Structure 1
Amino acid sequence: MTQLDPALAARFANIALGHVAREYPHKLDHVMESDADVLPPRVLHPVFFGSFDWHSCVHGWWTLLTLRRMFPDMSESADIAALAETTFRPEKLDVELAYLDRPSARGFERPYGWGWLLALHLEASRHEDQTWATHLEPLARRLATALGDYLGKLTYPITVGTHFNTAFALILAHEWAQAHDAALAETIESWALRVFGDRRDYESWEPGGDEFLSPALTAGVLMRRCLPARDFAPWFAAFLPEGGWLERDLHPATVSDRSDGKIAHLDGLNLSRAWCLRDITSGLGASSRTVLLEERAKAHLDVALPHVAGDYMGEHWLASFALLALRIAPDS
């Protein structure tokens, strides 16, 4: 399987450096309450105004900081640090925080952007030579509180393959919470066990035509994180029984038009499936089935990696999902 080496890291870094501060084209998630709210992205979101939309800018920054930590000697690391220094300023982050106080922003970027913001803060906290995490922490804490409140009233998981997918956001949030908020980590674990613990015999028409996440595999990753290690393999065997969906239907998706932003999601699906399969495999004992999962992960990754750049509809976000799949160690 392709490995993340300095050359590929530099390629991903240059892709992300090319869009996190690119304001247009831009798709706002913004409810206008009056004429005064007709404002450009850089005014509404002085930190996360690039990358076509808010959440893509957040995980574009996660990509950059992760690469800087993993490959500190690459020349792009200095460019990342310089841009971060001018971006993660307290006065700019205060504006991002105030935006969440708007009555119409209660569901802003919920839950996908919330999960990625927590992942960004966790990554920033690993850069001990910088103050970025300190500046991002109030925003992360606000969204962590909002996520805990949201889970308190979310009776059912949202099991789609797009931004509203609950499991994916909770995977990111749980990793943050393990380091920064033990109570939230416990909330996520108990919620995941309640809603997914008894799921059996998964069958679906997955993938949908514009999905970039697998509802089945994201649930699998979340449960690997939340279940005791000894309980995960039995749960997974019941959830995706041998000879069923995984063996029969889990093949790379075909992308017919990469200039169509929705259809281009399928490149992301191939990358996120590769990530999920590698993660799930780490929780299973050695068997013929883990060999199959590894083979399927490689097939999905090989199909998608050549298309991380080329058309902006994919270029503004796909490197993040490639990096998820290629990180050398689970805690990288």
Structure 2
Amino acid sequence: MTPVQAGRFARIALGHVTRPYPHKADHVMTGDADVYRPQRVHPIFFGSFDWHSCVHGYWLLARVRRLFPVVAEAAAIDTLFADAFTAEKVEAERAYLDRPMSRGFERPYGWAWLLMLQGELMVGDSPHAATLRPLADAFADRWRAHLPLMTYPVRAGTHANTAFALVLADRYARVVGDEPLRDRMAEHARRWFGGDRGAQAWEPSGEDFLSPVLMEAMAMERLLPAVDFAAWFDAFLPALAGGMPATLLTPAQVSDRSDGRIAHLDGLNLSRAWAMRSLAAATDGPARRVLETAAADHLAAAIEAVAGDYMGEHWLASFGLLALTGTD
């Protein structure tokens, strides 16, 4: 990651986090009174096509601001944050969660990204962390309450993926020092994934932006002691050192970047690169080299696709930043 790339990503996000339309709502109406105008009910996160993409657009900006404090876009980020993160706007976002039909709003993808944003603001000693905290606390409470209700994890390669939410929520829990939450997530991860062996990696599906196999591995790497993870990972991907399964290590092809769902596959390449780099750091020997090579291939396949068509542009740079800088 270079200051030039950081500035490019920041400009992309600045161009869409306050762009109100087009907009895809996660909103249930029970009557005429529930007619939805995005900026009225979401005065902070109304842009970027949908709520969760706007949240991780702000995360991108907060992270660039922290890692590259002299980037030319820093002043624009500061101005945006001062306008967005006010107590009144945060309370409006939080109050939306009180609606009876908002129980499943953005679960778990948006929840996890909001926690990531809060963690990034806290690590950067941003004054906006205190302002955003009531909303972050509300989503952290929802996550704690939801975990014991999940008899089974969601293994999809899209927003509902449970393991991806565990990875992002773990980052937040580490930042705030919430070890009971980490312990609870580790307990559930062991129950959901602990017996998984010989992953076949029948992926990607045509609209994936997450690898179910790699997200699961990342969650276990973050939440298990290193020795336990090493034994589990060897059994989970036993042929990895030999370059198998090939479908997991081969970048996805994207046929139409103007189609928002097909464009997910650019995100898959970027999120795979992020996961592979993270897992390589926790592995050694031939498996590590396989992961590092595949990560470079996936990154090269998608990093230039973060801008161009709005159906990818409103979110892909966040995944590019994950691939290049991780979460720490």
Distance 1:148 1:245 in 2: 38
**Residue matched to 1:280:** 279
Q: Structure 1 residues 195 and 30, CA, compared in 2 at 3 Å: closer, same or farther? A: same
SS of equivalent to 2:205: coil
Does the CA contact (< 8 Å) of 1:212 and 1:272 recur in 2? yes
**Residue matched to 1:299:** 297
**Residue matched to 1:139:** 135
2:113 corresponds to 1:116: yes
**Residue matched to 2:226:** 229
Q: CA deviation at 1:131?
A: 1.8
RMSD across aligned C-alpha pairs, in angstroms? 1.2
SS of equivalent to 1:189: helix
* 1:63 pairs with one of 55, 60, 63: 60
Q: Deviations over 1:28-47 (max 9, x none)?
A: 00001221211311001001
Distance 2:307 2:151 in 1: 39
Q: CA deviation at 1:306?
A: 1.1
Runs (4+) off by over 4 Å: none
**Residue matched to 2:9:** 12
Aligned residue-pair number? 325
Q: CA deviation at 1:204?
A: 3.7
* 1:211 pairs with one of 208, 213, 216: 208
Q: Please, what TM-score do these two structures have when normalized by structure 1?
A: 0.96
Q: Please, what TM-score do these two structures have when normalized by structure 2?
A: 0.97
Q: CA deviation at 1:246?
A: 3.8
* 1:47 pairs with one of 39, 44, 56: 44
**Residue matched to 1:289:** 287
Q: CA deviation at 1:248?
A: 2.2
**Residue matched to 1:308:** 306
Q: Which amino acid aligns with 1:175?
A: R
Distance 2:227 2:64 in 1: 33
Q: Deviations over 1:73-128 (max 9, x none)?
A: 01101110110000011101101100001110000000000000000000011232
Does the CA contact (< 8 Å) of 1:202 and 1:245 recur in 2? no
Q: Which amino acid aligns with 2:271?
A: S
Percentage of identical aligned residues: 54
Does the CA contact (< 8 Å) of 2:171 and 2:327 recur in 1? no
SS of equivalent to 1:305: helix
Distance 1:224 1:170 in 2: 11
Distance 1:326 1:178 in 2: 21
Q: CA deviation at 1:271?
A: 0.1
Distance 1:246 1:8 in 2: 32
2:267 corresponds to 1:268: yes
Does the CA contact (< 8 Å) of 2:108 and 2:160 recur in 1? yes
The unaligned stretches of length 5 or more in structure 2 are none
Which runs of structure 2 are paired with 1:90-239 in the superposition (5 Å)? 90-128=87-125, 130-180=126-176, 181-239=178-236
The unaligned stretches of length 5 or more in structure 1 are none
Q: CA deviation at 1:330?
A: 5.6
